[in-house]
Amino acid sequence: MDGLCLVCLGGLMAALSRSGMYWYFLNPRFSPLTLTAGALLGLCGLALLLRPQPAHRSAGRLIRQAVLLGFLSLAATSWDQAASEPLPGALNPATADNAAQAPEPEAPVNLRPVKNGVEYLRLNLAELYIMLDKGRKDYPPHFALRAQVVRTPQLDQRGHVLLKRTAVTCCLADSLELSFVASGVENAQSGQWVEVYGHVERLEAKGADKGLAQAAPKGEGPSIALTNPKFRIRAEAVEAIAQPGFPYLFEFREAEPFAW
């Protein structure tokens, strides 16, 4: 029975490491390690099945085996349910296996595009958020970033939208939905993906900016939603784009070249 438990556990780990749902639980960069561990457990289980060792059948041992098999059964059932009902905002694992296993960098792009005579530095929204959150003064004066637009009646009344990206530091359960309130993006529709060329402005604690960041929607689980409370993005140009092949951010760099 021990050998069967190890084979089942190893098989589950190996299959999960190659599936599109691995990133729900761990960072995709760990999938080769999980695959290796699963293969080794499977080999150990096969060795026990092929050459069983006599063992004392105690009640405690039977309970441990039953608990492990029960866990494996629940995991298999949950896996099947997750495959048919993806988490909110997530890619459908049935169509995004390769992207979810190891997000690959997209085709090389110009990281310093020039628009209307102004040079912009491309970076991702999480990288900009982290720089500002750390109080750094060397953030780019003009930047370009991709984000999804969120509109609400409260923000519309104040001439702003929300620009958001989900940053995954370890797994989906450990993700952050980072966002900025932004002006100059009023023509974009809610849910639309855009590339925004612009700069940041400090939000004033009083006057027209008062409570602006707090008016942003709180997002949906499992991510924790954070809207930058001190800065807004002032768009100088906006381009509609297709949703990135993998819309979640896994890489955040402190200096150029940024992950974008």
pLDDT in tens, 166-201: 998 776 677 889 999 999 998 999 999 999 999 999
Tokens 């100059």 belong to which residue? Answer: 184
Q: Which CATH number characterizes residue 182's domain?
A: 2.40.50
Residue 5 binned pLDDT confidence (cut-offs 50, 70, 90): confident
Environment class of residue 93 by beta-carbon count within 10 Å: exposed (0-12), middle (13-18) or buried (19+)?
Answer: buried
Q: Are residues 198 and 138 in the same domain?
A: yes
Q: Are residues 137 and 185 in the same domain?
A: yes
Which one, of 60, 43, 23, 69, lies nearest residue 175 by Cα?
23
**131, 139 in Cβ contact below 8 A?**
yes
Q: Are residues 209 and 137 in the same domain?
A: yes
Q: Are residues 79 and 21 in the same domain?
A: yes
In a domain, 184, yes or no: yes
What is the average pLDDT across 101-116? 73
Residue 55 binned pLDDT confidence (cut-offs 50, 70, 90): low
Average confidence score pLDDT of the chain? 81
Q: Are residues 119 and 234 in the same domain?
A: yes
Counted domains in the chain = 2
Q: Are residues 57 and 130 in the same domain?
A: no
Q: Are residues 119 and 184 in the same domain?
A: yes
Does the pLDDT at position 60 exceed 80? no
Q: Are residues 139 and 52 in the same domain?
A: no
Q: Which residue segment(s) compose the domain that 130 sits in?
A: 114-240
pTM recorded for the entire structure: 0.67
Which one, of 140, 155, 247, lies nearest residue 197 by Cα?
140
Which of 107 and 147 is assigned the larger pLDDT? 147
Q: Are residues 119 and 236 in the same domain?
A: yes
In a domain, 35, yes or no: yes
In a domain, 20, yes or no: yes
Contacts of residue 234, defined as CB under 8 A and 6 or more positions apart, other chains included, come to 182, 183, 184, 198, 199, 200, 201
In a domain, 100, yes or no: no
In a domain, 103, yes or no: no
What is the average pLDDT across 218-232? 83
In a domain, 95, yes or no: no
Q: Taken in order 155, 146, 189, 117, is the CA torsion positive or negative?
A: positive
Q: Are residues 58 and 175 in the same domain?
A: no
In a domain, 157, yes or no: yes
Does the pLDDT at position 97 exceed 60? no
Q: Are residues 123 and 187 in the same domain?
A: yes
Residue 148 binned pLDDT confidence (cut-offs 50, 70, 90): very high
Amino acid sitting at position 53: Q
Q: Which two tokens stand for residue 199?
A: 């700069």
Q: Are residues 82 and 124 in the same domain?
A: no
